Structure 1
Amino acid sequence: MDAGFEAHLRAGEVEFDASDAALLRAVDDEESLNRAADALGRSYSRAHKRLTALEDALGPLVVRQRGGSGGGGSRLTDEARDLLARFERLRAEFTGTAEVEETVFDGEVVARDGELATVETPAGRVRALAPPVESEVEESPDADPETVQVAVRADAVTLHAPDDAPAAAATSARNRFSGTVAAIDAGEEVARLLVDVDADATLAALVTMSSVEKLGLDEESAVVASFKATATRASPRE
């Protein structure tokens, strides 16, 4: 089980995400599941199967009318409109927080591979996107170590329970730190967590409140934090 940034609402094993919200909005606009699927470039069978799975977990979302003088069609239930409103509040809260939240670690570049650099930080090694350095500095054996600052966005961090963390080779999020939750700032739908990773800075992460509850997170909970190299930036330290 993991907790990541991408906005979603969870009901049991089913997650309601942006793709599902788009399907409900299309049904509302087109007044037909068939036309909604066409508008989204999805097959009717795929859209119907997904809607059935959502309704099994969340209750009635679409009322279907067959034939009649109006030719039939579909409309959203009040529960579906409440669900969409809750999802939009969740996404807005995520977006507003994520725009400014990041953790910065100091480090030294120990290797480069194209646009990616491997940086040694107090918390461990991090792969990050990094601008190229001038060739004469890079090739000089007497040059000082290249010092950088590594910025990690809170929305890019995924938290795992230690026993459920996937192997590094099994995920594209190769950067990972083990740590403990130092603080939880809970909102209505989103929580901001600070994770102690034995560095000068605590690692900030954004997760849904449902994920906090699902993972049973509280202060001093052990977690594994992972994040992708492409969501991490290394820049020269001033």
Structure 2
Amino acid sequence: MEFSTEFDARIGQGDVTLTERDVVLLRAIDDHGSINAAASALGRSYSRAQQRIVELETAFGDLVERKRGGSGGGGSRLTDRARDLLSRYDRLRAEFSGVAETAETVLRGRIVERDGELATVETPAGAVRALVPEADGEDVRLTLRADAVTLQDPSRSPDPDRTSARNRLEGTVRTVDAGEAVALVTVDVGDEVSVSALVTVASVEKLNLHRGTTVVASFKATATRGVPSA
């Protein structure tokens, strides 16, 4: 069980997921008037672009209306269904961006080890690896955006040596604040310290994420920034 928050807005339907790459393709078709011209403009293979449109339409319904060549020439245009799907994607991105910009975890601690700009900081929640520029003093304040945190089931959390997200703090879910598309999850990691994570509402519902759920909050050292404490 994994709740990823290194977020790339996605809309899933069955086994097919609309990603940013798909959105770029659909908008290029809208701009250029054909799948072939869109693929060429994006430097992609026409056959693969065509295949991807078919895959998306299998899940989401008709997205591209095709017109065969003739005296007036051929071409393609987006259907109303496709435009609605793109609008949903834009709303998801907007909501995510708004929450991500304001949701931030702050941890205070003391540097106990340093390797260049990377430092190990002892915090009330445990040791955290972070980017901390050389500066006078060892007391620092760490900041971490909610979209840089991944929540995992402790029983399935990978070994720290096998993942780039070396920071791992185990705790329990305190709150789940759900919006239309994304949810801000607060995890109590001990000693009155909490970490915020951003997940999709679909993930919350599918995985039954609620108050009291035990999770591991993991995040990369490069996503954690430190500055001297005031």
User: Normalising by structure 1, what TM-score?
Assistant: 0.88
Consecutive unaligned residues of structure 2, counting only runs of 5 or more, are none
Q: Residues 104 and 201 of structure 1 are in contact (CA less than 8 Å); yes or no, is this contact kept in structure 2?
A: no
Equivalent residue in structure 1 for 2:200, among 208, 211, 214: 208
- Pick the aligned partner of 2:20 from 18, 21, 46: 18
Shift of 1:161: 3.0
Q: Deviations over 1:90-133 (max 9, x none)?
A: 11111112112211111111211122111111222211111113
The aligned residue for residue 51 of structure 1 is: 53
**Which of 180, 190, 194 is matched with 1:188 structurally?**
180
Number of equivalenced pairs:
228
SS of residue paired to 2:190 = coil
Aligned match of 1:100: 102
1:75-224 map, 5 Å: 75-134=77-136, 146-224=138-216
1:10–1:210 Cα contact (<8 Å) kept: no
Q: Tell me the percent identity.
A: 59
Q: Structure 1 CA distance, aligned partners of 2:41 and 2:214?
A: 45
The answer on 1:2 being equivalent to 2:3 is yes
Per-residue CA deviation, residues 197-228 of structure 1 (Å, 9 max, x unaligned), is: 11433111111111212222111112222212
Structure with higher RCO (Cα < 8 A, 6+ apart): 1
Say what the alpha-carbon RMSD is for the aligned residues.
1.8
Other-structure match for 1:141 = none
C-alpha contact (below 8 Å) 1:107/1:149 kept by paired residues = yes
- 8 Å contact 2:135–2:228 — kept in the other structure? no
Q: Which residue of 2 aligns with 1:71?
A: 73
- For residue 53 of structure 2, give the secondary structure of its aligned residue in structure 1: helix
Choose 23-32 or 35-44, whichever is displaced more.
35-44
* Distance of 1:57 and 1:166 partners within structure 2: 32
Letter in 1 for 2:170: S
Could you tell me how far apart the structure 2 residues matched to 1:117 and 1:94 are? 30
Q: Check 1:159–1:49 CA distance in 2 against 1; reply closer, same or farther (3 A cut).
A: farther
Residue 169 of structure 1 and its aligned partner are, at CA, apart by 3.3
Give the 3 Å change call, closer, same or farther, for CA 214–70 of structure 1 in structure 2: farther
- Tell me how far apart the structure 2 counterparts of residues 49 and 171 of structure 1 sit (CA, whole Å): 33
Quick check: 1:161–1:215 contact (8 Å CA) kept in 2?
Answer: no
Cα distance in 1 between the residues matched to 2:50 and 2:153: 34
Larger mean CA deviation between 44-53 and 206-215 belongs to: 44-53
Q: What one-letter code is carried by the residue in structure 1 that aligns with 2:165?
A: A
Per-residue deviation, residues 135-193 of structure 1 (Å, max 9, x unmatched): xx7xxxxxxxx111111111111222334433333332222222211101111111111
* 1:2 partner amino acid: F
The 8 Å contact of residues 23 and 36 in structure 1, kept in 2 or not, is answered as yes
The residue type equivalent to 1:58 in the other structure is F
Q: Which runs of 4+ in 1 moved over 6 A?
A: none
Separation in structure 1 between the aligned mates of residue 88 and residue 22 of structure 2, nearest angstrom: 13
Compared with structure 1, are the counterparts of its residues 90 and 234 closer, same or farther at alpha carbon in structure 2 (3 Å cutoff)?
same
Q: TM-score normalized by structure 2? A: 0.91
User: Could you list the runs of 5+ residues in structure 1 that have no partner in the other structure?
Assistant: 138-145
- Other structure's SS at 1:54 match: helix
Q: Structure 1's 14 and 168: CA in aligned 2 closer, same or farther, altered over 3 A?
A: farther
